[in-house]
Structure 1
Amino acid sequence: MDQFGKAAGVVARVRAMVQDGTLVAGDAVPSTRVLAAELGVARGTVVAAYEQLDGEGWIRTRQGAVARVAPGVGAGHWPTEHAARDASGRTDGHADSAAGTGADLLDARPGIPAVTAIAARDWRAAWRAAADAPLRNALSDPAGLPELRAQIAAQLGLARGFAPEIGRVVVTAGTAEALSLVTEGLRNRLGRAPVVAVEDPGYRSGRRAMMSAGATLVGVPVDGDGIDVDVLGRIGPVDAVVVTPTHQYPLGSVMPVARRLRLLDWATRTGAVVVEDDYDSEFRHRGSPVPALAALDATSVVVHVGGFSKTLDPRLRCSYVVLPPGPVHEAVAASRLARGPVVAEPVQVALAHLLRTGALRRHLGRVRRDYTHRRERVATRVAAVAGLEARALDGGLHAVLTWSGRAAGRDVVARMARSGVLVSAVEEYEVSPGSAPAGIVLGYGALTLPQLDRALDVLLEVLRVRGD
């Protein structure tokens, strides 16, 4: 039996111990060394099995702590609050009868990461550091705490291939505020409303924020390699373009290096600014990481936007921009000074602590494995259904599911909501009507595998009922 077969045997063994009541919620499971010796397998096999069991919601593992059976799991109870399943993964009638009630509502919309996955001791330590920070009679630095900005710069050097000077890093209250800030800086520099090209389909909240800051938006279609640079070059004078090159939102294409270089060349020739929204680059499930646009930027045309919404918790409302040297830096920095500080200092201290101590890197290593399990579950389930296609699975925390029938995405979303599962329609991200395929965007970051199965079951049932 190969390693995968042995790991599957370990998974089945622990599941059985929970299901027959040998282990109950909160019980410690055997250590990887003890179980490996008992079963006569390599310890690495048991480690892989425990990672799968954690991803499925049976157990909870934390670095340096004893793995335990997850809360709410025990004899006769499968690892989900929302649906009971038999061994085939189907939802039973009892779960269906409660579908659509508040207690049973499953939120599978994109944008929600596995917030509770971070090690509790790391999370508490970060907020203790914030509480222990000395009080001072002073105003916050509008650009953000120097300690956090230094840690962000160091993290970018490790993960994204460029290490900016601290003075180029500016803290913002989320990605939408970052885009609003950049738009305001461009408007003040130009003395008029900036013309900003955006991906179509693309990030809705970002578009609204830029329009509120005075931008005139122009939609540019995307293809399998990201934004269409040829179309971008034909639409007339543009002051800036906003792109998600690492994992196009929402369709998921990855912009190859050749197109990235073409985009940078276009920006250099036209004097435009390229705003790189690097929203979930930490989660790459397939293929080699592609360098950030900012790492390829030799002519200071890229504004790099990142944040902590997908890695930790969107409720922290903390992101950042890395500004290129020159007039754009001066204009956006002036707008930040005028707006004042926007992220509470205790939040910034806690985030700096997570970065400095390596807690964030440990957390990312853990959730990458979990997200990979969920991504593989989506790919496996969809591959077994004729006419259904999964996109955006190379990275990130969501999948785009499209079908060959006539069903409109908004109609399917409404029917799924009546069955207790919330998702988003791809059409909701359009700039121009008809620019996006009919489909749904399903976020799997915060779902257990049984919850993910439930969402897919409901989708398949809706499409079957419609005859599509």
Structure 2
Amino acid sequence: MDQFRSSPHAPAEGAGAGRRVYDLLRAQMADGTLPAGAKAPSTRALAADLGVSRTTVTAAYEQLAAEGFLVTAVGRAARVAGAPPAAPVSRATPRRRKQPAPALSDFGRRVAGIAMPALARAKPAAIDFAYGAVASRDFPSQIWRRAYQAELLRHQHSLYYAAPEGDASLRRSLQGYLRRARGLACDAEQILVVHGSQQGIDLCARLLLDPGDAFVFEDPGYLMARRSFEAAGGQLSAVPVDTQGLDTAGLPSGMPARLAYVTPSHQFPLGGVLPVGRRMALLQWAQRQRAWIVEDDYDGEFRYGQRPIDALQSMDGDGRVIYIGTFSKALSPQLRIGYLVLPAELVPVFRQAKRLVDRHAPLLEQRVLASLIDSGAYERHVRRVRRENERRRAALLGAVERHLPGDATVAGTAAGLHVVLWLPFLRARDETALVEAALGRGVGVYPVSPLFATAAHRARHKAAGLILGYASLTPEEIDRGMRALAAVIGSLAAKAR
């Protein structure tokens, strides 16, 4: 027992004492103090020697026996297992492998090589014009809590996995809601509930693209979608965007494309609304190409002054459009619930893929959403939040007019929860300095240049541009932020001159 008395790591009784006894015995086995086949100290003697309870030592022995390091039998002393025990787990930084790690798959190598935008700052700016953010005070906490509690208390025969396509109650509720709000007629069977629009995009990329297949993409466009298609091995065919959204005159005709990704209700990020003529041209192109169209309707509920424009899929008579919707902008991006409306022929394979990825989306939240839609509470909430965001949008436009130079212009104001601010007296190369200087004054703004896929399309817009989200701010914060941004812009413009 001397080796235990002299050990500097002998555990004192208290929290974690059992783990320390376990580690001590593992270390003695690893360094040969307790060689293979040797008798282990009795639990009573070791407990007395270490000053801990016998129960603590017994629990450590049982764990070692369960892991195969000790051999125990009723009425016989425990012995160290015959096979040499593995070295104890080290908490130090692991050594570099002598041999290279096993190779990644082609998909893994593509993912590893993709440049991604930085994640949100741990400490956001005091006034953050983050696009995609919504105000926490807009979340319908009271009605959500009541509906959640009701679902939580509802008796279930057992708790088990649910259908991968989503709960039937939510899919039926969405069927009615989409007809009322988006002019989209579908069967509930065509709806697949996913973890936010990003998972829907990823499923489209994996199931519809082979490596080397071309995909049409708006330029500029939603970077996370483009990266998903590239990770699947797709080859980018960038089509420029103007004030009306995707320029369908630029759709490729000499090369086959498997799909086109579009945001027709409010083009991301420039804000154009795709007119009916271009919608028809896009659908006709997809028919000729035998291509799919992925319609991302990420904030289609928010159109100001007029009712929201019907979804592109409502015009699709050939079954080419996959519609992606989400609750991220109307409720919260943290909810992570979205949905696809699929052409009938794609339903089985998308359900199977969803099942392989994560079984199904959270069931309780799905039923809460179904309850809110069926009661009318969700649509009342959307109307209320639309009014609030219209006030914020007006505050932003007013602040730009009051505080920024007269040649600053704002695009994409008809719909959505963000705008693009163009500053013709600064150049695209000034965006980084502008963002950093604004952050130094506690204002978060975001450059438009990283969302361009090609330098040629970025060169069409020579001015510096900022994406300004306003849905998480108050009108007062928007005004203060614009005043601070105006000071930064004035300083940079003076240097440019």
Deviations 1:98-143 (A, max 9, x none): xx99696222110012232134321211221331243424212111
- Which residue of structure 1 aligns with residue 51 of structure 2? none
SS in 2 for 1:253: coil
SS in 1 for 2:420: strand
SS in 2 for 1:406: strand
TM-fit CA distance, 1:197: 1.2
* Distance (Å, rounded) in 2 between the aligned partners of 1:148 and 1:431: 37
* Distance (Å, rounded) in 2 between the aligned partners of 1:146 and 1:213: 31
- Which residue of structure 2 aligns with residue 73 of structure 1? none
Match of 2:133 among 80, 94, 112: 112
**Unaligned stretches of 5+ residues in structure 1:** 1-99
- Which residue of structure 2 aligns with residue 379 of structure 1? 397
TM-fit CA distance, 1:335: 1.9
* Distance (Å, rounded) in 1 between the aligned partners of 2:279 and 2:261: 13
- Which residue of structure 2 aligns with residue 217 of structure 1? 236
- Which residue of structure 1 aligns with residue 295 of structure 2? 276
* Distance (Å, rounded) in 1 between the aligned partners of 2:254 and 2:434: 34
TM-score by length of 1: 0.74
Match of 1:365 among 369, 383, 386: 383
* Distance (Å, rounded) in 2 between the aligned partners of 1:245 and 1:166: 23
Match of 1:416 among 438, 453, 466: 438
Give the share of equivalent positions with the same residue, in percent.
Answer: 33
* Distance (Å, rounded) in 2 between the aligned partners of 1:288 and 1:121: 27
SS in 1 for 2:478: helix
- Which residue of structure 1 aligns with residue 349 of structure 2? 331
Coordinate RMSD, CA, aligned: 2.1
Deviations 1:217-253 (A, max 9, x none): 3221111211111211346211000000000001000
* Distance (Å, rounded) in 1 between the aligned partners of 2:191 and 2:172: 8
Q: Does the CA contact (< 8 Å) of 1:399 and 1:442 recur in 2?
A: yes
TM-fit CA distance, 1:359: 1.5
Match of 1:170 among 192, 197, 211: 192
Q: Which amino acid aligns with 1:441?
A: I
Deviations 1:160-218 (A, max 9, x none): 1123111100011111110110111214xxx6554221111110112222333343332
- Which residue of structure 2 aligns with residue 347 of structure 1? 365
Deviations 1:325-377 (A, max 9, x none): 22x33433332233243421122122222212211111111111111111112
Q: Does the CA contact (< 8 Å) of 1:279 and 1:310 recur in 2?
A: yes
Matches within 5 A, 1:386-405: 386-405=406-425
* Residue 138 in structure 1 maps to residue 160 in structure 2: yes
* Distance (Å, rounded) in 1 between the aligned partners of 2:145 and 2:192: 26
SS in 2 for 1:163: coil
* Distance (Å, rounded) in 2 between the aligned partners of 1:274 and 1:257: 16
* Distance (Å, rounded) in 1 between the aligned partners of 2:211 and 2:124: 50
TM-score by length of 2: 0.70
Q: Does the CA contact (< 8 Å) of 2:125 and 2:439 recur in 1?
A: no
Match of 2:476 among 450, 461, 468: 450
- Which residue of structure 2 aligns with residue 296 of structure 1? 315
**For the structure 1 residues 339 and 214, does the alpha-carbon distance in structure 2 shift closer, same or farther, using more than 3 Å as the test?**
farther
TM-fit CA distance, 1:427: 0.7
Q: Which amino acid aligns with 1:112?
A: A
Deviations 1:411-451 (A, max 9, x none): 21111111111121111211113534421111100100011
* Distance (Å, rounded) in 2 between the aligned partners of 1:162 and 1:134: 34
* Residue 251 in structure 1 maps to residue 273 in structure 2: no
- Which residue of structure 2 aligns with residue 266 of structure 1? 285
Larger Cα Rg: Structure 1 or Structure 2? Answer: 2
Q: Which amino acid aligns with 2:137?
A: T
Which ranges of 4 or more aligned residues in structure 1 deviate by more than 6 Å?
A: none
Deviations 1:246-289 (A, max 9, x none): 00001000001111011111111110111100010101013453
Match of 1:286 among 283, 305, 317: 305
- Which residue of structure 2 aligns with residue 205 of structure 1? 224
- Which residue of structure 1 aligns with residue 143 of structure 2? 122
* Distance (Å, rounded) in 2 between the aligned partners of 1:246 and 1:345: 29
TM-fit CA distance, 1:144: 0.9
Q: Does the CA contact (< 8 Å) of 2:261 and 2:295 recur in 1?
A: yes
Q: Which has the higher contact order (CA 8 A, sep 6+)?
A: 1
Match of 1:182 among 201, 204, 209: 204
Q: Does the CA contact (< 8 Å) of 2:191 and 2:342 recur in 1?
A: yes
